[in-house]
Structure 1
Amino acid sequence: MCLSSHHNHYTLYCLQNPCTIHIENGEQASLFQCVEATANDGDAVKIRDIVIVSKAGWGNFTTINDAGAAPNNSDASGGYFFIYVTAAEYRDEYVTVPSNKKYLFFLGDGIERTIISGSRSVGDGWTTFNSATVVVEGEGFLAVGIAFHNRAGPSKGQAVALRSGADLSTFYKCSFQGYQDTLYTHSFRQFYRECDIYGTVDFIFGDAAVVFQNCNIYPRLPIKGQSDPITAQGRSDPNQNTGISIHNCTIKAAEDLGSTKTYLGRPWREYSRVVYMQSFMDKLIDPAGWSAWDGDFALSTLYYAEYSNTGPGSDITNRVDWEGYHVIDDANEADEFTVAKFLMGDFWLRRTAVPYISGLL
């Protein structure tokens, strides 16, 4: 294994020899492979209990759902319930973390080795909401080094790999692979750091307040006749403090994309809000930048903005002229969509030890 970050805010080691990890009550638990997480102040990430999921049978559980059912209701002060999900494809295990399972920490062996995959889709009779391979609703959920897949394919319509309605949920070095509607950022505050997201139509969607930071976004080849709008944000009330902020990310074509028209987003709901900031956009982005949902729906009420992006796809010369589209020139305006301002992240991300940029670059 080893997941590791050289950023001084986060170090995550997985060792091949037995070792120990301190848990909340001061006891020690010996693991075949262990994790040590250290924040930049030298304090260990607080862990209150540890279990191992192994399909081979050498852990505490053979399924992720059984491990996730183990903890009782908890809060941040007690520390994370730590679930080490060992390397395997957990094929067709549809995982749910319900709202009463708070502060669960899923650690995988990396996105090439720990994979949770399903194949539910609208084309096969599921609703978009219920098609998700993994559903997370428990506050404070943290996942590191896990791939979430929906294998349904581009012809099956909406098919979600992960749906998160968990407040204060964090995903670090994870991968989300699907086609239409891959990642459903349903609600509440969410943070994604150094993740890979693959999809076709509306593959980042929902109505959370969410920041993607240092992530790679890969539009894929859809079915014939479709274009690829990356986002479909669903804010339906102008008073909601929700939206999608894409900060210091890279938008590049997946290997199969070809010449498919690719857009930064389209408005799913009337007050849709998306901001791209200080990100690299490759040549796949259509010069218009954004696409309509249906005629002139939401074009005057949405808030779509770009700030200080780079790359051949970032040229704003021929962008849409909608009333709701903005080119941000004032750093103070862009700052409203940073981790610190948009998510109040300085008050809760520190306990995860996941690295993050609080403000603008």
Structure 2
Amino acid sequence: MLLHWCCIVCFFLLVGLRVEVANAKIYRKVGQKNLPYRSIVVDPSGRGNFSTIQSAIDSVPSNNKYWVSIKVMAGTYREKVKIPDDKPYIILKGEAKRRTVVEWGDHDNTSQSPTFTSMADNIFVKSMSFRRCSISVIGGALDPGLPGFITAQGRTSPDDENGFVFKDCNVFGNGTTYLGRPWRSYARVLFYQTNMSNIVQPSGWNAWNFAGHEGNITFAEYGNFGTGSDTSKRVNWTKKLDLETIENMTSTKFVDSDGWLQNLPF
């Protein structure tokens, strides 16, 4: 998992990497609560265990089998953060009070949405469901008239269960953007009940390097609103998903097909 980080203030981020549970006791039990075995504090002021997010992640041993909580304190973080595949069971969490270049999480009762602002490769994940996130497109970062892309999902087989789901989100900014392009041949993305401003390209989606193989791609929209949500001029190969598929993709079952969420420590 790779995240490009450029934070002005801190954020709230909770990441539980999906892993095979096997026979490991991956959390400690205190009463009725599941708690991580180890907690780490990241604070750029020097009052934590580490001053950078990456150094905290690096301290987690390879082939880790126990939940580790990394609490990120408010501050400025400008780093490229990589969580290797052999370091599962990591939770990153923190909180923000002001807008950041990359925000992820709870602010107050009126603004409980992560905000992503990036030129490219903001967050690199295999599968993710985003809810109530704000996606701010900065057209000035590109050449005049050149549209951006919000997603580039990488599903490689029709049997893969992964994909991106954006639920109850907000797409805004300046310039113009596509909702997505495929990174791999069976890319799958759903925008659901999302507010789209007029920055969204009327065609919505781009086949990129997979022109001629659009039948393998699942790009879908359902119940969206706003001036950019008009689907009358969308590319003709967008998918019309049945209600059962939409309900499955927008529920926790989509990211919890094997029940791994029950092993999260709280």
TM more than 0.5: yes
The structure that has the greater radius of gyration is: 1
The counterpart of 1:89, out of the listed 76, 81, 100, is: 76
Q: Please list, as runs of the form range in 1=range in 2, the aligned pairs for 1:1-361 lying within 5 A after superposition.
A: 24=28, 43-72=32-61, 73-75=63-65, 78=66, 80-91=67-78, 93-110=79-96, 112=98, 175-185=115-125, 208-221=126-139, 222-252=142-172, 254=173, 257=174, 260-294=175-209, 296-322=211-237, 325-328=238-241, 330-344=242-256, 347-349=259-261, 352=264
Distance apart, 1:179 and its partner CA:
0.2
Q: Is the 8 A contact 1:271 1:298 kept in 2?
A: no
Percent identity of equivalent pairs: 32
Q: Which amino acid aligns with 2:153?
A: Q
Partner of 2:109: none
Q: CA deviation digits over 1:283-334, x for unaligned, max 9?
A: 2222222223158332232122222222222222222223xx2234x42131
Alignment gaps of 5+ in structure 1: 5-22, 27-41, 117-142, 146-171, 186-207, 355-361
Q: Per the alignment, in what secondary structure is the counterpart of residue 182 of structure 2?
A: coil
Distance 1:218 1:321, change over 3 A: same
Q: Is the 8 A contact 1:111 1:173 kept in 2?
A: no
Distance apart, 1:46 and its partner CA:
0.8
Q: Per the alignment, in what secondary structure is the counterpart of residue 39 of structure 2?
A: strand
Q: Is the 8 A contact 2:114 2:133 kept in 1?
A: no
Q: Is the 8 A contact 2:195 2:226 kept in 1?
A: yes
Distance 1:100 1:111, change over 3 A: farther
Q: Per the alignment, in what secondary structure is the counterpart of residue 274 of structure 1?
A: strand
Q: Which amino acid aligns with 2:40?
A: V
CA separation in 2, counterparts of 1:306 and 1:287? 13
Distance 1:108 1:237, change over 3 A: same
Q: CA deviation digits over 1:198-229, x for unaligned, max 9?
A: xxxxxxxxxx2321122111221122242122
Q: Which amino acid aligns with 1:87?
A: A
Q: Is the 8 A contact 2:192 2:224 kept in 1?
A: yes
CA separation in 1, counterparts of 2:131 and 2:227? 20
Q: Which amino acid aligns with 2:91?
A: F
How large is the Cα RMSD of the aligned pairs?
Answer: 3.7
Distance 1:100 1:286, change over 3 A: closer
Q: Which amino acid aligns with 2:180?
A: G
Distance 1:51 1:269, change over 3 A: closer
CA separation in 2, counterparts of 1:81 and 1:318? 47
Distance apart, 1:114 and its partner CA:
8.9
Distance 1:239 1:313, change over 3 A: same
Distance apart, 1:246 and its partner CA:
1.7
Q: Is the 8 A contact 2:128 2:164 kept in 1?
A: yes
Distance 1:353 1:285, change over 3 A: farther
Distance apart, 1:176 and its partner CA:
4.0
Distance apart, 1:234 and its partner CA:
2.4
Alignment gaps of 5+ in structure 2: 1-8, 13-26, 107-111
CA separation in 1, counterparts of 2:185 and 2:144? 28
How many equivalent pairs are there?
A: 236
Q: CA deviation digits over 1:51-108, x for unaligned, max 9?
A: 3333333333344444334444543xx5x322333332233x4444334433223233
Q: CA deviation digits over 1:132-168, x for unaligned, max 9?
A: xxxxxxxxxxx867xxxxxxxxxxxxxxxxxxxxxxx
CA separation in 1, counterparts of 2:206 and 2:38? 47
Distance 1:314 1:346, change over 3 A: farther
